[in-house]
Amino acid sequence: MNVAVFGMQWGDEGKGKIVDYLAEKADIVARFQGGSNAGHTVIVGNETLKLHLIPSGVAQNKKLVIGNGAVINPEELISEITELEKRGFRVDLLVSERVHLVFPYHLLLDGALHAHQGNRAAGSTKKGIAPVYADKYERHGLRVADLIEMVDNGELPGYVHKMVELKGKMLHHVFEIEHNLDEQQILDKFYIYANFFRKYSGNVTDEIYHAIAEGKNVLFEGAQGGLLDIDHGLYPYVTSSNTTLGGLYTGMGLGLRCKNKNTVDKVIGVVKAYTSRVGEGPLPAELLNETGNWIREKGHEYGTTTGRPRRIGWLDMLEVNNFVMVNGADEIALTRLDILSGLKQVKICVNYAIDDVLVRQRLATGGAIQKCRPLYEVMAGWDEDISNCRKFEDLPVNAQRYVHRIEEFTGVPVKLIGVGPERSQIIPR
């Protein structure tokens, strides 16, 4: 069975843990969009893995694949692999030869753009994501296969010269930033990266197509979350890739079926029991009070990639329902329910109102959302520590009610419930 896992909120839903759990039954774990802006935490025994580019299946020693829709900073990928291997993990990785590469000027431009965009800036992770995807669509980016070819035919110095000249002018004349981009240094590094990719890259579409056709189980790991989708998220407070189901098909180069097998048999939407996000933009159910601080500290809600404190809010069903729809989610994996233990009341944002008029559909602009007043359903909380519960019936009745309400609002069953950071702290239903 081929399963796809997507975040239904702002990223940071705890997909890494869910993918790690599901990876046991998979032969291949594949990523298909985003880059090192992603941060997936996987805890196995005494080991805490903070992954950015490597699919979370690494902790289960699975075959790992990165599809063409992703972008890679080679320096970060190599250091992630080195670190994992040092810690005894086997990294059996195939990177698509069509993946676009992040250059040092993308990192500088990311910061410059952020400053220029002012209150319409997404608050990027400064990993070069927007500039590298922009180069892809301007059709002068460099893919893994191009890098190898240019090293072989001697065209790489010319390419780097042209791009450093262009990006240098943008930094200097447009953004008025002094830079120290060094062509030779970039070249030296990219010659080394080319050798690395000779070993690790290939035709990912072909590989996955045949694996599925032969009956292997593929687990597709979405990065970020629905609200960060470039098309369906809260634009412009989004990332630069499609973080929803469509991104999987284009980002792997696959159709609905591989021979007579479905490419994706099941879609799992990962929902955190509350809302958290880093970055800018409106967040109607935000908790700007003691409860928000309490959840942030209890849940260690600080960004995996940037260390920034995450903004906290109640669960927002208007948003979750939208991404259940956009992804066609069959099931929900609810994460971090344990963090809510100890609250007298828990709230679910069930709708918004603007000037006392109900907002029934998702709004497209931050300006409109800014005007919204969240409407809550208030439920009784629970005091018990639930981190040792392993069956749904073991959960306090009020925690069970909370789960049931989510099922009622989404119309989708909650099949996995996370009650702690460990791989074993999951309640299957």
Looking at 2, 68, 239, 341, which residue binds ligand IMP (CB under 6 A)? 239
Q: What single-letter DSSP state applies at residue 393?
A: G
Largest CA distance in the chain: 68
Looking at the Cβ atoms of 175 and 196, the one nearer to ligand IMP is 175
Q: How far is the CB of 161 from ligand IMP (least distance, A)?
A: 27
Residue 125 touching ligand IMP (CB under 6 A): yes
Residue 251 touching ligand IMP (CB under 6 A): no
Do residues 91 and 78 make contact, with C-beta atoms less than 8 angstroms apart? no
Looking at 3, 14, 28, 39, which residue binds ligand IMP (CB under 6 A)? 39
Task: Kindly state the tokens that stand for 420.
Answer: 């702690």
Q: Which amino acid is at 298?
A: K
Burial of 3 (0-12, 13-18, 19+ CB in 10 A): buried
Task: Kindly state the tokens that stand for 131.
Answer: 């500039």
Residue 279 touching ligand IMP (CB under 6 A): yes
Looking at the Cβ atoms of 6 and 402, the one nearer to ligand IMP is 6
Select from 200-208, 232-240, 257-265, 362-370 the region that touches ligand IMP (CB under 6 A): 232-240
Looking at 2, 37, 321, 341, which residue binds ligand IMP (CB under 6 A)? 37
Strands 331-335 and 414-418: parallel
Residue 241's SS3 state is coil
> Which residues neighbour 137 within 8 Å (Cβ) at sequence distance 6 or greater?
none
Number of residues counted as binding ligand IMP (CB under 6 A): 21
Q: How far is the CB of 140 from ligand IMP (least distance, A)?
A: 19
Looking at 5, 18, 38, 54, which residue binds ligand IMP (CB under 6 A)? 38
Looking at the Cβ atoms of 11 and 226, the one nearer to ligand IMP is 11
Do residues 323 and 226 make contact, with C-beta atoms less than 8 angstroms apart? yes
Residue 55 touching ligand IMP (CB under 6 A): no
Looking at the Cβ atoms of 228 and 248, the one nearer to ligand IMP is 228
Q: What single-letter DSSP state applies at residue 39?
A: -
- Could you give the C-alpha distances from 382 to 77, 297, 332, 402, 411, in angstroms and in order? 42, 18, 22, 10, 24
Residue 11 touching ligand IMP (CB under 6 A): yes
Do residues 377 and 391 make contact, with C-beta atoms less than 8 angstroms apart? no
- Map the footprint of ligand IMP across residues 202-231, applying CB under 6 A: 223-224, 228
What is the Cα–Cα distance from 244 to 141, expressed in whole angstroms? 23
What is the Cα–Cα distance from 62 to 23, expressed in whole angstroms? 7
Cα 147 to chain centroid, rounded: 26
Q: How far is the CB of 293 from ligand IMP (least distance, A)?
A: 20
Task: Kindly state the tokens that stand for 275.
Answer: 């809302």
Residue 70 touching ligand IMP (CB under 6 A): no
Q: How far is the CB of 113 from ligand IMP (least distance, A)?
A: 9
Residue 374 touching ligand IMP (CB under 6 A): no
Looking at the Cβ atoms of 113 and 187, the one nearer to ligand IMP is 113
Residue 256 CA neighbour count, 13 Å, CB half:
0
Q: Which of 376, 241, 368 is nearest to 314 (CA)?
A: 376
Residue 282 touching ligand IMP (CB under 6 A): no
Strands 357-359 and 414-418: unpaired
Task: Kindly state the tokens that stand for 175.
Answer: 């953004």
Looking at the Cβ atoms of 4 and 389, the one nearer to ligand IMP is 4
Q: How far is the CB of 76 from ligand IMP (least distance, A)?
A: 13
Select from 5-13, 286-294, 332-340, 391-399 the region that touches ligand IMP (CB under 6 A): 5-13
Looking at the Cβ atoms of 57 and 279, the one nearer to ligand IMP is 279
Residue 130 touching ligand IMP (CB under 6 A): yes
Looking at the Cβ atoms of 239 and 275, the one nearer to ligand IMP is 239
Task: Kindly state the tokens that stand for 216.
Answer: 């292997």
What is the Cα–Cα distance from 141 to 281, expressed in whole angstroms? 29
Alpha helices in 306-390 (DSSP H): 317-327, 366-370
- Map the footprint of ligand IMP across residues 292-351, applying CB under 6 A: none
Residues that bind ligand IMP (CB under 6 A): 10-12, 37-39, 122-125, 127, 129-130, 223-224, 228, 237, 239-240, 278-279
